[in-house]
Structure 1
Amino acid sequence: MKRYSVVICGGGSTYTPDMIELLCLLQDSFPLRKVTLYDIDADRQAIVGRFGEVMFREYYEGLEFSYTTDKAEAFEDIDFALVQIRAGGMGLRNFDEKIPYRYGRIGQETCGAGGLAYGVRSVPAMIQLVKDIRQYAPDAWIINYANPAAIVAEATKRMFPGDKRLVNICDMPPDVLNHYLPLIGRKRSEFRPVYFGLNHYGWFTRLLDRKTGEDVLPELLSYIVDNYESIHAEFKGRIRGPEDHWAITFLDHLEMIRDFPYSLPNSYNLYYLYPDRTYAHYTPEHTRYDEVIAGREHDVFTWCNEISALGHMKGTKYDLTDKIAAKRSSIRDLGVETVYADNDVHAAYLVELVLSIVNNAYEPTLVMTENNGICPNLDPGMMLEATCLAGAQELMPLAVGEVPAFEKGLLENQYACEKLLVDAILEHSDLKLLQAFTENRLVGDADVAKKIIADFKAANGNEWPEFC
């Protein structure tokens, strides 16, 4: 049995410990000989790296593990590069989210002005990273989670045409299914989804039962509408406080389904369809950044440091022996050997794609791919997030058909914005930068766009390319 070599780019990410745990859980389905963490922030990565040393030593016999800032050490002799970098780090995310609020605009890390600012940093960083990986591993699969994924996908499409092993994905659509399918006693692995949109801006239009071919989306939507009050009460009861971001998001998302009850939307559609509501969730002094720093980042790094200090997990409250033993006997789900982990969906969805590739299983997965007729009434160059069948040599997109006027108008506007932004970055064009920000539905005013851009330039310094 082939044993694979994996590098996790963005080794200091708070998502990396989930990935490490999942690789231990899936060692029979996805056998590994080497795992490397790579990050340009050595201190941050070391926190996760020391945790990884303990976990792999105790739960993955014979695995070679290391963490490094050296490109050659990271990328030579790899089969998969799993990318979750954050260009500019969390410090600049703070500016991405707070600067727009100075001008009465939503501050969000991937949508609106904040997402565009993040994109200006992410595109050059991702282009360089792909070049570095390809220098040492020309045939490796590069699976990118780095945000803002739609803008990154538009840029990598242009810079690396024909690279079929460079894939941009996102876990939010699967997470939407994970939230709603249990309402009708079903789970995501039972369906082949039909989905279209841009990243963080899309809709499920069908959910096809793998065994019968039946589309159960009408049943799910009818159930939500017919039982709206009780589901609303249930979702509201999950909110633990004013900073419980995702519980609050899905309460709003539930109302969006009731307002537009013919498809199942991405939760990020809330920013575009309900901007006043989403704007009111935060203030110039307190945004999602602050919640993450005080919540997930604090908790994950505290957990990593505690395990590192102990030097072992077995026999402690962190012991995963029983969990890993249970998961190591892989299940067969519809003829494909897979394990659907019960930890963070971010890690689980990424590895599900990897399993489909290594097994040549052609499992349906949502990835960003050039339109080219998937939705014939949308721009053919649009980097759609759509259902593809993932095999060992290719990802085969499935046709969706023409999209309705409402969704078409929203997507064409957003794609024009994203396309202009990538133009601006690659051409160093101040004019196109202004056009991109002005075009954005969540900015929508050239005077405001000029002020926001000026503040972003000052805040980002050398992290932004020069524009003229």
Structure 2
Amino acid sequence: MKLAVVGGGSTYTPELIDGFARLRDTLPIEELVLVDPAADRLDLVGGLARRIFAKQDHAGRITTTTDIDAGVADADAVLLQLRVGGQAARDKDETWPLECGCVGQETTGAGGLAKALRTVPVVLDIAERVRRANPDAWIIDFTNPVGIVTRALLQAGHKAVGLCNVAIGFQRKFARLLDVNPSEVHLDHVGLNHLTWELGVRLGGPDGENVLPKLLAEHGDAIADDLRMDRKIIDRLGVVPSYYLRYFYAHDEVVRELGTKPSRAAEVAAMEKELLAMYGDPTLDTKPELLAKRGGAFYSEAAVDLAASLLGNGGSPVQVVNTYNNGTLPFLPDDAVIEVQARVGHDGATPLAVPALDPLYAGLIANVTAYEDLALEAALRGGRDRVFKALLAHPLIGQYEYAEGLTDRLIAHNREHLAWA
């Protein structure tokens, strides 16, 4: 079995490598190729990756390359975890929207649109290279904004499934609070990528007992603190929203907060510098503790599970993924990409049935899906007017004056990445 990781020079990668090493019985990798245009980072990450495999007696071979075509050749699955423009572009995404009084964030709002515009064309080019190399290869997309990027891949006919670590993070958190094995916890996880709610927490399987009321009653303060939301909001909803819902439920508060501190990108850039220095230490053969603060917790375990299922090598039969709606949420078009529990196998992902949603959730999902339609159109075809319409449609923006100002800023800060600008 051969896997390729495009964006393999990311400081995330040792988390992924550690999971591959620990879970080799689930996903028996014989060859792993790390692909990245940044040769200097790739050397550091690749060296640590080999030491981690050796430390854990993994027999698989790890190679590195800056050549995408060479890296994906004959791969059974390709994981995408790239960031077009790096942390410098992310820093801009998180700052210039604040000038218009809007949230600056890398996956939603104006910053999320900027990332989509930079990313979709690059991902589609990579996917075409994968298809030429092996039409049967699966593409696992961890590249944000996952929903929009996965939809672009699927609409272009690629064998793709989107993956996010929010659901597995909740699963592990709830398992700790309930003092049970994570495999016993199943989530009624519904929505779009980075716009989801846990409507139920079930023990034993998708049809098991719903213990969410017990969780909220006994651990509501801890859950609220972790989400940085008021406990009263969560009690009133009776569900657990993704922490990304804070951008919607407390928009103005978040804008004020973001204006008083360095961007997350600046924090991550400093962290990455320290991590890369650690990775260069030839005696380091485990992922450093600092990596846990970088983000992406449990990404490796989710990726292994998904890849194993898609490649017919086991894996959990039901997983939370991003895939076509196909009637699951009847108020959305079939080709919308949703994030829900799905049965996953070598033929792909099929969403499980979802009960009728409260309009409080369905309305926001429909609104953001409409924005994603326009965002993808802008990413594929370009043009100032398409960018403006996507921004105007986003519920975090929605005002003509804001959309005009944000359009100008988005184009000005991203010209080098936009072929049409």
TM-score when normalising by structure 2: 0.90
Q: Which amino acid aligns with 1:281?
A: E
Once the two structures are TM-superposed, the CA of residue 191 in structure 1 deviates from its matched residue by: 3.0
Q: Judging changes above 3 Å, is the alpha-carbon distance between structure 1 residues 62 and 169 closer, same or farther for their aligned structure 2 residues?
A: closer
Task: Determine which of 305, 308, 328 is the counterpart of 2:280.
Answer: 305
Q: Which amino acid aligns with 2:28?
A: P
Q: How does 1:410-421 map to 2 (within 5 A)?
A: 410-421=364-375
Residues of 1 paired with 2:121 and 2:259: CA distance?
30
Residues of 2 paired with 1:277 and 1:285: CA distance?
13
Q: Judging changes above 3 Å, is the alpha-carbon distance between structure 1 residues 433 and 282 closer, same or farther for their aligned structure 2 residues?
A: same
Q: Judging changes above 3 Å, is the alpha-carbon distance between structure 1 residues 212 and 54 closer, same or farther for their aligned structure 2 residues?
A: closer
Task: Determine which of 77, 80, 83 is the counterpart of 1:83.
Answer: 80
Is this contact kept in 2: 1:359–1:391, CA < 8 A? no
Kindly indicate whether residue 340 of structure 2 is the aligned counterpart of residue 346 of structure 1. no
Kindly indicate whether residue 255 of structure 2 is the aligned counterpart of residue 279 of structure 1. yes
Residues of 1 paired with 2:406 and 2:91: CA distance?
14
Task: Give per-residue Cα distances to partners, 1:105-124, cap 9 Å, x unaligned.
Answer: 11111011111111111111
Kindly indicate whether residue 235 of structure 2 is the aligned counterpart of residue 258 of structure 1. yes
Q: Which amino acid aligns with 1:260?
A: L
Is this contact kept in 1: 2:2–2:75, CA < 8 A? yes
Task: Give per-residue Cα distances to partners, 1:361-415, cap 9 Å, x unaligned.
Answer: 5621111122121122333332111111111233222111322211111111111
Q: Judging changes above 3 Å, is the alpha-carbon distance between structure 1 residues 253 and 158 closer, same or farther for their aligned structure 2 residues?
A: farther
Residues of 2 paired with 1:85 and 1:11: CA distance?
8
Task: Determine which of 362, 383, 389 is the counterpart of 1:429.
Answer: 383
Q: Judging changes above 3 Å, is the alpha-carbon distance between structure 1 residues 50 and 154 closer, same or farther for their aligned structure 2 residues?
A: same
Is this contact kept in 2: 1:37–1:67, CA < 8 A? yes
Task: Determine which of 103, 120, 123 is the counterpart of 1:123.
Answer: 120
* 3-state SS in 2 of match to 1:129: helix
Residues of 1 paired with 2:62 and 2:99: CA distance?
45
Residues of 2 paired with 1:179 and 1:270: CA distance?
19
Q: Which amino acid aligns with 1:350?
A: A
Residues of 2 paired with 1:369 and 1:187: CA distance?
27
Once the two structures are TM-superposed, the CA of residue 182 in structure 1 deviates from its matched residue by: 2.5
Q: Judging changes above 3 Å, is the alpha-carbon distance between structure 1 residues 227 and 7 closer, same or farther for their aligned structure 2 residues?
A: closer
Once the two structures are TM-superposed, the CA of residue 211 in structure 1 deviates from its matched residue by: 6.1
Q: How does 1:438-457 map to 2 (within 5 A)?
A: 438-457=392-411
Query: Larger deviation: 53-62 or 25-34?
Result: 53-62
* 3-state SS in 2 of match to 1:252: coil
Once the two structures are TM-superposed, the CA of residue 155 in structure 1 deviates from its matched residue by: 1.7
Kindly indicate whether residue 163 of structure 2 is the aligned counterpart of residue 156 of structure 1. no
Once the two structures are TM-superposed, the CA of residue 194 in structure 1 deviates from its matched residue by: 2.6
Kindly indicate whether residue 96 of structure 2 is the aligned counterpart of residue 96 of structure 1. no
Once the two structures are TM-superposed, the CA of residue 302 in structure 1 deviates from its matched residue by: 2.7
Query: Larger deviation: 359-368 or 119-128?
Result: 359-368
Q: Judging changes above 3 Å, is the alpha-carbon distance between structure 1 residues 273 and 138 closer, same or farther for their aligned structure 2 residues?
A: same
Q: Which amino acid aligns with 1:52?
A: A
* 3-state SS in 2 of match to 1:32: coil
Is this contact kept in 1: 2:305–2:315, CA < 8 A? no
Task: Determine which of 190, 195, 203 is the counterpart of 2:197.
Answer: 203
Partner of 2:291: none
Larger Cα-atom Rg: 1
Structure 1 runs not aligned, ≥5 long: 237-246, 321-342
Is this contact kept in 1: 2:33–2:71, CA < 8 A? yes
Task: Give per-residue Cα distances to partners, 1:213-240, cap 9 Å, x unaligned.
Answer: 4332xx33344245545x47xx76xxxx
Q: Judging changes above 3 Å, is the alpha-carbon distance between structure 1 residues 276 and 180 closer, same or farther for their aligned structure 2 residues?
A: farther
Partner of 1:220: 212
Partner of 2:66: 69
Task: Give per-residue Cα distances to partners, 1:334-383, cap 9 Å, x unaligned.
Answer: xxxxxxxxx94111111121233333456211111221211223333321
* 3-state SS in 1 of match to 2:334: coil
Partner of 2:268: 292
Task: Give per-residue Cα distances to partners, 1:100-149, cap 9 Å, x unaligned.
Answer: 11111111110111111111111111111111111112111111100011
Partner of 1:26: 23
Partner of 1:243: none
Q: Which amino acid aligns with 2:36?
A: D
TM-score when normalising by structure 1: 0.82
Q: Which amino acid aligns with 1:207?
A: V
Q: Judging changes above 3 Å, is the alpha-carbon distance between structure 1 residues 69 and 379 closer, same or farther for their aligned structure 2 residues?
A: same
* 3-state SS in 1 of match to 2:258: coil
Residues of 1 paired with 2:42 and 2:233: CA distance?
39
* 3-state SS in 2 of match to 1:259: helix
Once the two structures are TM-superposed, the CA of residue 212 in structure 1 deviates from its matched residue by: 9.6
Residues of 2 paired with 1:177 and 1:257: CA distance?
17
Partner of 1:393: 347
Is this contact kept in 1: 2:80–2:140, CA < 8 A? yes
Q: Judging changes above 3 Å, is the alpha-carbon distance between structure 1 residues 227 and 12 closer, same or farther for their aligned structure 2 residues?
A: closer
* 3-state SS in 2 of match to 1:281: helix
Is this contact kept in 2: 1:376–1:401, CA < 8 A? no
* 3-state SS in 2 of match to 1:43: helix
Residues of 1 paired with 2:206 and 2:377: CA distance?
45
Partner of 2:317: 363
Q: Which amino acid aligns with 1:279?
A: V
* 3-state SS in 1 of match to 2:122: helix
Kindly indicate whether residue 331 of structure 2 is the aligned counterpart of residue 377 of structure 1. yes
Residues of 1 paired with 2:302 and 2:242: CA distance?
16
Number of aligned pairs?
A: 413
Q: Judging changes above 3 Å, is the alpha-carbon distance between structure 1 residues 383 and 93 closer, same or farther for their aligned structure 2 residues?
A: same
Structure 2 runs not aligned, ≥5 long: 289-295
